């Protein structure tokens, strides 16, 4: 088979759109959790479990489905995942039972892992010298999907109820499946690999690559930090002193647009071997954001600033991590991505669980304390990386 065509600007854009459309499935829920809590007559901590289930399902998919990207031709696999995700979103729109909705939330996470098949595909197609920037552009689509999903969710819920979000998402996913099947290139034939080898390969890479484990630590904590904020933000904004509507809460997602700038800046730093600097800056941004959120608990402007700073730090950390790990084993990028992202969404799942629990007992302050502790757990190893045994490979491969 001939080599796939180079990654053009138009194809990069369509892959970014696909990533955004798929990842949005994980975040439609967050701005309307307070309404779902009311409709299903459940408590705050119970409603928060929906986020945990979605992220846990995504983690399972990352471990068991994403490695298929090194086994099957990704063009067909990605299109299939978009169709399965569309069917699952339609099921969510139809259910009237909280238990069933919780189970479907798990499936939504599981079927939404097509995002993590597109990103390593783009890394494979990109030129070596511009891989960091290419990943940043595709990941900008991911960030836009996260931001717009929260905003669209709030606006649609305000106009037509929260179920309308799931119907619209199902239609968009089905259309995107057809588009990507048409535009994604075929790949070269790769060495034969069994499913067991693919899944076990992710575990083996995680066990044998200290740099992958080092970066997975930062990824898990960054995702946990983001979940800590967004799992409970709708509860905080829908209560006193704000009493905001679904639409207004959804608009808060737009404040994270700074993350797109941070993502592209991190991509440029990674291509210039300055990723240690990017890591330190991102860790301090995440930690500082929760200090701002705690101080601004009754101020919409300080809350908005906290959201901006957190999203910028999180996206900067994510792009830096991915730019590094995709260089570890070029023939196994799907398995590398699987190992890394399983840790990220395990962190996200735990973050949402503890955020809901702490919010139920200590309110907004409890979540800010949790977020600050997660940030500090990134700052310390980021600053001491040169003196860390775990980070020896990091220093060799990434001396900036």
279-310 tens-digit pLDDT: 998 999 999 999 999 999 999 999 999 998 89
State residue 292's pLDDT score: 96
Residue 386, judged by CB atoms within 10 A of its CB (0-12, 13-18, 19+), counts as: exposed
The CATH-assigned architecture of domain 9-397 is: Up-down Bundle (1.20)
pLDDT by residue (tens digit) across 214-257? 999 999 999 999 999 988 998 899 888 998 987 888 788 777 66
State residue 124's pLDDT score: 79
State residue 374's pLDDT score: 97
* Neighbouring C-beta atoms of residue 212, cutoff 10 Å: 23
For the chain, domain boundaries: 9-397
3-state helix, strand, coil in the chain (%, to 5): 85, 0, 15
Beta carbons of 315 and 262 less than 8 angstroms apart: yes
pTM of the entire predicted model: 0.75
Crossing angle of helices 210-238 and 33-40, in 10° steps, is 60
Low-confidence ranges of the chain (pLDDT < 70): 1-6, 188-191, 256-273, 385-400
Residue 189, judged by CB atoms within 10 A of its CB (0-12, 13-18, 19+), counts as: exposed
Token pair recorded at residue 315: 């996206």
Closest CA to 147 of 274, 295, 256: 256
- Cβ within 8 Å of residue 226, ≥6 positions away: 310, 311, 314, 348, 351
DSSP annotation of 32? G
Q: In whole angstroms, give the CA distance from residue 390 to residue 216.
A: 12
Which helix (H) or strand (E) segment holds residue 350: the answer is helix 333-383
Residue entry with tokens 């979940």: 227
State residue 178's pLDDT score: 96
Classify 348 as helix, strand or coil: helix
């Amino acid at each position: 088979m001939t080599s796939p065509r180079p990654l053009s600007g138009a194809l990069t854009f369509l892959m970014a759109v696909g990533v955004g459309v798929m990842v949005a499935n994980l975040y439609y829920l967050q701005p309307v959790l307070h309404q779902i809590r009311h409709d299903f007559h459940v408590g705050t901590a119970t409603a928060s479990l929906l986020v945990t289930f979605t992220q846990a399902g995504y983690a399972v998919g990352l471990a068991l489905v994403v490695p298929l990207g090194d086994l099957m031709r990704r063009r067909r696999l990605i299109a299939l995942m978009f169709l399965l995700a569309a069917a699952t979103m339609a099921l969510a729109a139809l259910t009237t039972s909280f238990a069933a909705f919780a189970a479907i939330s798990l499936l939504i996470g599981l079927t939404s892992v097509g995002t993590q098949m597109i990103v390593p595909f783009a890394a494979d197609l990109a030129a070596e010298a511009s891989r960091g920037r290419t990943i940043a552009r595709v990941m900008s689509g991911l960030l836009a999907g996260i931001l717009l999903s929260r905003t669209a969710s709030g606006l649609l819920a305000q106009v037509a109820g929260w179920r309308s979000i799931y119907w619209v998402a199902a239609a968009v996913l089905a259309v995107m499946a057809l588009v990507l099947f048409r535009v994604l290139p075929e790949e070269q034939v790769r060495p034969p690999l069994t499913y067991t080898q693919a899944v076990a390969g992710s575990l083996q890479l995680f066990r044998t690559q200290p740099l992958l484990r080092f970066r997975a630590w930062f990824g898990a904590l960054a995702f946990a930090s983001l979940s800590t904020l967004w799992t409970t933000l709708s509860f905080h904004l829908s209560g006193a002193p704000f009493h905001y509507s679904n639409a207004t809460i959804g608009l808060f997602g737009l404040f994270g647009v700074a993350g797109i700038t941070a993502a592209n800046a991190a991509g440029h730093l990674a291509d210039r071997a300055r990723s240690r600097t990017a890591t330190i800056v991102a860790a301090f941004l995440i930690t500082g954001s929760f200090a701002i959120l705690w101080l601004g608990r009754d101020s919409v402007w300080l809350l908005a600033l906290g959201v901006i700073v957190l999203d910028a730090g999180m996206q900067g950390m994510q792009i830096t991590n991915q730019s590094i790990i995709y260089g570890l084993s070029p023939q196994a990028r799907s398995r590398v991505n699987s190992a890394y992202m399983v840790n990220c969404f395990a962190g996200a799942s735990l973050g949402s669980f503890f955020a809901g629990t702490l919010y139920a007992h200590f309110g907004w302050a409890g979540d800010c304390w949790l977020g600050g502790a997660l940030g500090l757990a990134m700052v310390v190893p980021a600053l001491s990386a040169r003196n860390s045994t775990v980070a020896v490979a990091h220093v060799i491969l990434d001396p900036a």
